[in-house]
């Protein structure tokens, strides 16, 4: 029988925990002298499907979709999802605690500008934020008269006491009959494309790309 390795439709989140977990996050933010924090569904490699220990958004809010962002301030919080998850988000989270907003039509940065108070300190996890994302957050905070702060550690991890361990599976080398080509051939193809594009280096950070190469 076919077994999905990356995506599961099994409900593994607990929406009823959202209120207490967001309250715990707010307490941790206050301890760090922060007035807000952004929680993307992301891992350091920006994968679409993340391992269990990187599911901070699902643990915090109950939302288990593959794309979403939560912004938690001292007095309000919002979950941003795209049109695919409009119904799912409302069914999975406590809407008395989290406003549901459209990720594209009303993006997090716009909401931050509108709701973050002047002089506030807004934190983010630089390990799980893209350069473009950091730039957009910086502009949003500047418009609000607030300060954007890169954190050394993720505050969600401090309150996530039963966080799963990172995956540690055995590395297996595929036989060429499954891989299609040798690693040497694939690397040569990558180098050929770099030459065509007049580039010196390509950085592969996605584990799937690394595994293929």
**Range scoring the smallest mean pLDDT among 7-11, 68-72, 84-88, 184-188:** 7-11
Residue 68: what pLDDT?
Answer: 95
pTM, two decimals, is 0.83
- Read off the pLDDT band of 112 (50, 70, 90): very high
Residue 70: what pLDDT?
Answer: 98
Whether 63 and 89 have beta carbons less than 8 Å apart is answered as yes
Neighbours of 17 (CB within 10 A): 15
What backbone torsions phi and psi does residue 201 show, to the nearest 5 degrees?
Answer: -140, 145
CA 134, CA 183: separation in Å to the nearest integer? 35
Q: SS in 3 state form for the chain?
A: CCCCCCCCCCCCCCHHHHHHHHHHHHHHHHHCCCCEEEEECCCCCCCCCCCHHHCHHHHHHCCCCCCCEEEEECCCEEEEECHHHHHHHHHHCCCCCCEEEECCCCCHHHHHHHHCCCCCEEEECHHHCCHHHHHHHHHHHHHHCCEEEECCCCHHHHHCCCCCCCCCCCCCCCCHHHHCCCHHHHHHHHHHHHHHCCCCCCCCCCHHHHHHC
Name residue 81's beta-bridge partners: 102
Residue 174: what pLDDT?
Answer: 82
| Domain definitions of the chain by residue range | 15-159, 176-212
Residue 10: what pLDDT?
Answer: 54
- Read off the pLDDT band of 2 (50, 70, 90): very low
Residue 152: what pLDDT?
Answer: 97
- Read off the pLDDT band of 27 (50, 70, 90): very high
The pLDDT tens digits for 115-154 are: 999 999 999 999 999 999 999 999 999 999 999 999 999 9
The domain covering 15-159 belongs, at the CATH homologous superfamily level, to: Creatinase/prolidase N-terminal domain (3.40.350.10)
Residue 97: what pLDDT?
Answer: 95
């Amino acid at each position: 029988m076919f077994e999905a390795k990356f995506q599961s439709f099994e409900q593994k989140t607990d929406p009823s925990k959202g209120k207490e977990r967001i309250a715990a996050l707010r307490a941790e933010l206050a301890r760090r002298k922060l007035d807000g924090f952004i929680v993307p569904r992301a891992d350091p490699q920006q994968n679409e499907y993340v391992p269990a220990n990187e599911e901070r958004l699902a643990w915090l809010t109950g939302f288990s979709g593959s794309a979403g962002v939560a912004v938690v301030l001292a007095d309000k919080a919002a979950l941003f999802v795209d049109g695919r998850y409009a119904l799912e988000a409302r069914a999975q989270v406590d809407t008395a605690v989290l406003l549901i907003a459209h990720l594209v039509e009303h993006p997090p940065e716009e909401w931050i500008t509108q709701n973050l108070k002047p002089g506030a300190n807004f934190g983010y996890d630089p390990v799980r934020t893209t350069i473009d994302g950091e730039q957009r957050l910086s502009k949003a905070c500047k418009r609000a008269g607030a300060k954007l702060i890169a954190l050394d550690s993720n505050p969600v991890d401090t309150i996530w006491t039963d966080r799963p361990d990172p995956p540690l599976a055995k590395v297996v080398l595929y036989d060429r009959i499954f891989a299609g080509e040798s690693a040497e051939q694939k690397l040569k193809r990558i180098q050929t494309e770099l030459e065509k594009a007049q580039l010196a280096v390509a950085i592969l950070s996605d584990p799937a790309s690394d595994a293929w190469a």
